[in-house]
Each structure stands twice: as structure tokens, then as C-alpha cells.
Structure 1
Amino acid sequence: MGDVNRILVTGGAGYLGRAIVSEARKNGIAVTAIVRSKYPLSWKNDDGIRIVNADLAEFDVQETLAAAASDADVIVHAAGHMGNEKAPHDRDTLRATDHLLKALENAPARRFVLVSSMSVYDYLTVKPGGTVTEATKVESPDKARDVYTASKLRQEHLCQVFCEQDGRGLWMLRIGLVYSKDQLSTAHTGQKFGPVMVQVGKKGEVPVVHVHMAAKAIIAAVLTDPDGTKALNILDDDRPSRLRVIDAIGDKGGPRFAVQVSFPTALVLAKLARPFARYVPGLLKERILRARMMELKYPNDAMHKALNVSSDTTFEELMQIPAEDAA
């Protein structure tokens, strides 16, 4: 594949999408941004950004998408639902992906970059203190621990089948917990119950990636041949412990009280609650508890080797850097 002059980015106005567009422009790459919501006003003054308003899940969108992709060298698919509700995932993750792929059947782009998630891994196959890498077994979409995981697995499968049937290169970038000064989820530190935060353990790495680092890795993938289909975990070099994340968050709008529970204790409680799994919160469901709270390591050696991206900035320093181009 020759030079990359233009890319098409779905979900271009999203939290990560805006950072992808910004990173592409820093690298001199023109962008066709597919958006369905507000986008940064600065884009209107950039001749290198073409804005296409479209909802990928609408049934009449394929002609619009095909035209938008007609001069794109690489496709970056960052659109999708972020919650855990089935109907929005069926619409905005799976149907949207299906429509995009059908629109790309005659597109010139020979490289596809899918923004996937670390959630696809089967954490029942990993022991406490173990490591999660690209070789870790993934869950089955039919038996996945939650709707989000099942949808990301099905999305990966759709893209893999599409790319392999006509020889397109595919990066399945399994992105860690994306954060910036504006945003950091507490999903891997505990669960809120009103004014109380139940925190499970303090050790183990939290698989985070700053939004700028994620965008940098995505554009590196845009410029790199995957040589077929390649899955890659995208993570910061400095992956903090739960205690460091808790300290970094501080009391910014958080609960007034914190209760500490060890992981072994939480695991016993989750196993006792198994008969009532439909009615208990996430941290009392063993598979979710293991995925979020188990003491694990998340090396990013494969990312370094494949994409040659890195950062020597600490998590605490990165927590002070906001996301770019707020709408």
C-alpha cells in the first residue's frame, strides 16, 4: 500500500474520535469525519477535514457512506455504543458496522482499523497475578459476561470476515480504559452505592490509555501494514495501580465514604451470590469482578513492536492533560 493521504473516521465527533482526527491532521493526513453530533468549530476552518453528517445505523445510509469512502486510503471505525444496553448495541454497534462494511465493498481502501476493546478477553482463564496479552483467550459472544463484551466480539468478527474475504488488512485495536483530565471511569477501582464507594483491592495494574496515546497508536496503525489480520492491545506505558488511580481521582465529585474490600473476600461474596446473579450489582458477579478487579498485569510490548509508539509521561502527569478539541 502506498502513501496514506486521506482516512475516513466513523464516530469522528466522539471523545476518542476527535482525538483521532486531531492526530491525523498533525501527521498531514486529510480526514473525512462521519459525525451525527456536534463537532469542534475549528474543523470548519481546516480544509483538510471533510465533515459528513450521517447515522451509520439508518437503513438509507450506504450510498452516503460509499461516496464518503470513495477517496479514503484507510478506514478507521471508531463508532459504537459505549454502554451495556442491548438495543443501542444492536443498532449503533452491530447494525452500524454491517452498514459500513456493505458500503465499503467497492471502496479503494485496503486497510481497516477497528477500535475495539480490552473487554473481549476471558478473564476466567487468567489467574490472580497473571498477565493479559493478545494471546489471552477471548470470550464467546454467545456466552459473554455482558452485552458490551458480546457486541465488541461480534463487531470484531464482522470486520474480520469482511477484510479477509477480499484481502484487506485489518487492525483490531483493543483499547484500554481511555481517560484524560476530563474523564476517567472508576469501573476498575470500585462501585458506587449512593454516597459510598466500595473499593476492591489496591494492587494490580489498571489497563488505562490516555486519549492522546490511543489516538497516536491508531494513526500509527493507519500508517502500518498489519500483514493480514492483527489484534493489538493499546495501553499506556505507565499503568497505575488501583491505589494510584484512587489517589488521582481524589474527591472530585466522588462519593463521601469509601469501604475497602479485598479481592479474595469479594470473590467469595460473588460466588455466594451466583444463584441471584440477575439481581445483584456488577461487582457481585464473578466474571465482571474478575475482569475489573483481579490483580493483573497488562504488558504493551506487542504495541511497541508493531507500532513503535511510547510515552515516558507518568499517569499522574497525563491525568492533568485534557482531551483536545472539545466541541
Structure 2
Amino acid sequence: MSRVLVTGAYGFLGRYVVRELLAHGYEVVAFGRKRDKLEALRADGAEAAELFVGDFCRQEDITAATKGVDFVIHAGALSTVWGKRSDFMETNVRGTQRVIRACKQNKVKRLVFVSSPSIYAGKCDRLNIRETDCDASNCLNYYIESKILAEKVLREQRGVPCVIIRPRGLFGVGDSSIIPRLIKANRRSGIPLFRGGHNLVDITCVENAALALRLAIESEAAAGEVYNITNGEPREFRAILEELFRALGEKPRYLRLPLGFLYGVASLTERVYRLFRLNGEPPFTRYTICTLGYSQTLNIEKAERELGYRPIVSLRAGIRKYAKGER
């Protein structure tokens, strides 16, 4: 029986990955910094998981955790649209380097890295994006920069077979980011809507992303490769919102805003926040405007062909599950 270490195990995606692996007969080591959250993970359907309290930014912790492990799924990261560059570099880049070093030392068979399609983001519509359609100089925010650099570290290292997975727009029961922000905006003043909300959006039920990560450790063809992951159901942003809020029993409210003007405001606001070192996150960031205002769809043919990836939860089913979970 193969043994898999999952970093970021009590995070939104990590929890689903742990349960997916356990359900398919793997021994799982759930790795994270906070014991109480790891214990809660075990109480939430992952009773068989072994717990390891540690920080992958500490070499001794991640080296100890990877002893006797066959595979590592590195889902831990500093994942937010705003913050200090030094924090992103320490966690997402140097932290990944420490994970690689530990895998080499303990002869781990394969390292699967959770990256982000945010690296494709920009001030334009982008459709049917393939894995190679990435601008290595994208610096829309520090998170994007850190993920690009971490991927570069993985590609350039030798000794540990690696797979890079880029899951787009994760949502599901337990989501603490995308949908909660939309609900909060809707209840407060309305959801920003650009270009009539006709921009195409690709999102992913978190169960499907967990499936893809399991397939990435099982597929012989995956070593050294990069894969886009989505539900394969791109839809207009407004259509997704309408279905979501209908399932939640709420009426969506919109703020119709000028895209170009708001992008300029966001750019200026970011500069002010950095110049005066203001606390918190700006009300709008350039990345947020790009995400809400422009189309972005990913091509998942490579994952379908090489991993045998087929989404197991449809967009509609995922929305219904989320709405039910909220109640």
C-alpha cells in the first residue's frame, strides 16, 4: 500500500485530497502547522489519516515527515491576492525548495505540486489556454510571481519526478474564498459586473481537483508534465451567479462598473497601499478586476488524455451541494 504525504492537509483543497486518497486505499500523512485543525480533519471523515504537525518552511520538519513516504502532494501555500512579497517568496518558493530537498533525501517516488492558473491572468480575454501558454514575466501580483518561480524551481531540479497541476477556480462545501466573497459582496452592495457579465469563466468543483491530484501520482505518463484542471464547463460569469444565488435562495444584485476605469483605480490603490504600508487588502486589485472582467477558459485535453481525467461532479451538482451545505 502506497504512503502519501499531503501538505496543507487541512486547507480547503487539502481536506478533499486526504479523503480522496483514503477512499482509494492509500495510507495518508496529513501535514500541517496546527494540531487542532489536523485533529478536526481526522474528525471530518479522515479518521485513518496519520497526523504530522510541522511547517514545510522548516527543513527539519518536512524532512522528518517525508521519511518512508512514496509520494508527496504539495498543496500547502500562501494563497491570497495581497501581501508582502517576502512572505510569498519564503512560503511558496523557498518552502517548495525545502520540500524538494526532503523528497530527494528520502527518495520519494514523485512530487505533485499544486500550482495556479492565476499565472495566465492578464488584462485581456484568453480562451482555450494550454499549459504552455504562460507568460513567465507575469507580475500581476506577488502570488502569481511566486507560483511561476516555484514551477521554475521544480522544472530545473533533478532527482525527483514532479507533476504540476493547475486547478482553476476551486469551489465546494467548505470554500472560504470565492463563493463566500461573492455572497458577502451581494449582501453588502452588489457584485461587480463588467461587460454585462458575459465573460466566460472556467471553475472547478474541488472534488474534481482532488481526483486529478490522485491521478497525477498514479499515471506513468504524468512525470515531468503540467496539467490544467477545470470542470470543462465554461459559462458566462453572470449565468453562474444566477444559478448559484437561485440555489441559495437569494436574489443577485449587481454593480455595473466600467472595466478600464476600475482597473486604473485598482492599480493606483495598490500603489497607495504599498507606499504607505497600509494594513489589509485593497478593495479592488488588478488581479481581481482581471478575474471578474475578462474571459479565461482552460484547455484540459492533456489531462483527459494522459491522466484519464474526467470530472466526477458537474458544475450544477457542485452548486447544489454547496447550497445544501450552506444550509
**Could you say whether these structures have the same fold, taking a TM-score greater than 0.5 normalized by the shorter chain as the test?**
yes
Contact 1:170 1:226 in 2 (8 A): no
- TM-superposed CA distance for 1:131, in Å, is 2.6
- TM-superposed CA distance for 1:276, in Å, is 6.9
Tell me how large the CA RMSD over aligned residues is.
Answer: 3.4
1:260 aligns with 2:252: no
Alignment of 1:74-89 (within 5 A): 74-83=71-80, 84-86=82-84, 87-89=86-88
Contact 1:176 1:235 in 2 (8 A): yes
Q: Which runs of 5+ in 1 are unaligned?
A: none
Q: For residues 48 and 190 of structure 1, what CA distance do their matches in structure 2 show?
A: 34
Contact 1:208 1:235 in 2 (8 A): yes
Contact 1:188 1:292 in 2 (8 A): no
**Match of 1:172, as an amino acid?**
I
Q: For residues 122 and 32 of structure 2, what CA distance do their matches in structure 1 show?
A: 34
- TM-superposed CA distance for 1:139, in Å, is 3.5
- TM-superposed CA distance for 1:283, in Å, is 5.6
Q: Of residues 55, 60, 64 in structure 1, which corresponds to 2:61? A: 64
1:203 aligns with 2:212: no
Q: For residues 33 and 265 of structure 2, what CA distance do their matches in structure 1 show?
A: 45
Q: For residues 275 and 55 of structure 1, what CA distance do their matches in structure 2 show?
A: 36
Aligned residues: 306
- TM-superposed CA distance for 1:6, in Å, is 0.8
Contact 1:23 1:216 in 2 (8 A): yes
1:185 aligns with 2:178: yes
**Match of 1:258, as an amino acid?**
Y
Task: List per-residue Cα deviations over 1:3-24 (Å, max 9, x = no partner).
Answer: x611111111111111111000
Q: For residues 314 and 47 of structure 2, what CA distance do their matches in structure 1 show?
A: 35
Q: For residues 77 and 294 of structure 1, what CA distance do their matches in structure 2 show?
A: 29
Q: For residues 48 and 284 of structure 1, what CA distance do their matches in structure 2 show?
A: 41
- TM-superposed CA distance for 1:295, in Å, is 2.6
Higher helix share: 2
Task: List per-residue Cα deviations over 1:264-322 (Å, max 9, x = no partner).
Answer: x413653688677624967674x653444213432322221121121365312211225
Q: Of residues 267, 270, 276 in structure 1, which corresponds to 2:263? A: 270
Change (3 A) 1:260 1:94: same
Change (3 A) 1:312 1:75: closer
Contact 2:7 2:75 in 1 (8 A): yes
Task: List per-residue Cα deviations over 1:63-122 (Å, max 9, x = no partner).
Answer: 332232121111110001111212442343233223322322311212110001001125
1:242 aligns with 2:237: yes
Contact 2:19 2:46 in 1 (8 A): no
Contact 1:188 1:293 in 2 (8 A): no
Relative to the length of structure 1, the TM-score reads 0.80
Q: For residues 181 and 289 of structure 1, what CA distance do their matches in structure 2 show?
A: 25
Change (3 A) 1:133 1:267: farther
Change (3 A) 1:26 1:191: closer
1:309 aligns with 2:306: no
> What SS class does the counterpart of residue 13 from structure 2 fall into?
helix
Q: What is the identity percentage for the equivalent residue pairs of Structure 1 and Structure 2?
A: 19
- TM-superposed CA distance for 1:175, in Å, is 1.3
Q: Which runs of 5+ in 2 are unaligned?
A: 274-281
1:23 aligns with 2:15: no
